[in-house]
Amino acid sequence: MSLNQQAIHLKRKEGTAGGTKYIAVASGKGGVGKTILSLSFGKGLSDTGKKVLIIDADLGLSNVHLMLGITPRKNLAHFFFGDATFDDITVKINERFAFISSGNGIYELVKLPKEQIVNLIRRLQELAEENYDYVIFDTPPGIHEDTVAVVSSADFPVIVTTPEPTAVADAYALIKIINRESEVKDFFLVVNKVESDKEGRKVYESIRLLAERYTSAQLNHVGSIKYRKTLIRKIIEQDPFDKGFMDDVYNILSNMNLEVAPRRRSFWESIVSRLLGR
C-alpha cells in the first residue's frame, strides 16, 4: 500500500458518517478529463478496499467502456423498463469495482408515471447501497437539467477544468448555475492537465474570486493533475491507469475528506424530487 493510500485510510478511520457516498464528476467543457478522473477515483477507492460503482451518465460520449475495452450490452434504461436486472447491467471491472452505463436511462425515466419513478429509484437505491460504498457519476459536459440534478444531489460535487480559458469560463458558469438552482454551496475543484501545481492554484484562485463575488458557492481546491504524455498511450491500450496520474488522484482523494462529508438529504430522494419537480 502506498503512503497516499495509507493517508486515505487514516482519514477514514477518523470519519463519522457512514453509508454509501455519492460523488458526481462534472465540467462545463468536454475533454477536460471527467471520464478518466471518474475511473481513477474508482480505482483509487477500490484499491483501498472500498466497493465502488461508476454510473456513466455521459450519453453523447459514453466512454467509460471505451477506456476499459468492455462494452455493456444493457444499460440503466433496460433496468428501468424491466428488460434487465441490476446484475445484468453491472459490468465488473474487478471484484470491488464495477460500472453501469446509464444509456438514456435517466432521461427516459421521466416519461413514466410518478409512482413508478419513485419505486424504480428506490429499488436502484437499495441495490446500489447494499452493494457499494461509493457511487461515482461521470456526467456529460455542460449545463443540462439531469446533470444539475445529479451534481446538486451528490455528497461530493466535483468540477473538473483545465487551465484553458474556455474551460475555466465554462466551469465557473456551471458552478454559478448549480449554486443558483440548488442549495449547494460546497464544490470540489480539480484542475487537470496542468504544468505545475502553481498553475493549478492560479486557475482555482481565478474561479474562486468570481464565485465569491457573484455566488454563494464555496470552492475547495482539492488538487491538480499534471499533464502526462504517457496517458494517451495507456488509454489507447485500454489500461487507463497511469501511475503518475494515480498519485495525483490519491492526493485529491485524501484532500476530499471523504468520510466526513456532512450528509444533506439522501441522494436519491433529492434526485426524485428534482426529476418530478420540473
Quote the crossing angle between the two packed helices 243-255 and 3-14, to the nearest 10°. 20
Q: Are 104 and 77 in contact (CB under 8 A)?
A: yes
Does position 252 interact with ligand ADP (CB under 6 A)? The reply is no
Q: Work out which of 154, 235, 252, 258 binds ligand ADP, going by CB under 6 A.
A: 235
Span 136-195, contacts to ligand ADP by CB under 6 A: 192-193
Angle at 268 between CA 174 and CA 9, to 5 degrees: 80
Contact 249, 44 (CB under 8 A): yes
33 binds ligand ADP (CB under 6 A): yes
- Under DSSP, is residue 22 helix (H, G, I), strand (E, B) or coil? strand
C-alpha cell read off for 34 = 471527467
Is 38 one of the binding residues for Mg ion (CB under 5 A)?
no
Least distance from C-beta 30 to Mg ion, angstroms?
Answer: 7
Whichever of 57 and 256 has its CB closer to Mg ion, that residue is 57
Q: Is 27 in the site for ligand ADP (CB under 6 A)?
A: yes
Told to check if 227 binds ligand ADP by CB under 6 A, we report: yes
Q: If you write DSSP's letter for every residue of 78-112 in order, what string do you get?
A: HHHTTSS-HHHHPEEEETTEEEEE-TTHHHHHTTS
Taking CB under 6 A as the rule, does residue 232 contact ligand ADP? yes
Tell whether residue 69 is a contact of ligand ADP (CB under 6 A): no
In angstroms, give the least distance from the CB of 54 to Mg ion.
11
> Whole-angstrom Cα distance, residue 4 to residue 24?
22
Q: Which of residues 166-185 bind Mg ion (CB under 5 A)?
A: none
The interface region with Mg ion, picked from 54-62, 97-105, 184-192, 198-206 by CB under 5 A, is 54-62
CB 28 within 8 A of CB 161: yes
Residues in contact with ligand ADP by the rule CB under 6 A: 27, 30-36, 63, 192-193, 225, 227-228, 231-232, 235, 245
Residues in contact with Mg ion by the rule CB under 5 A: 34-35, 58
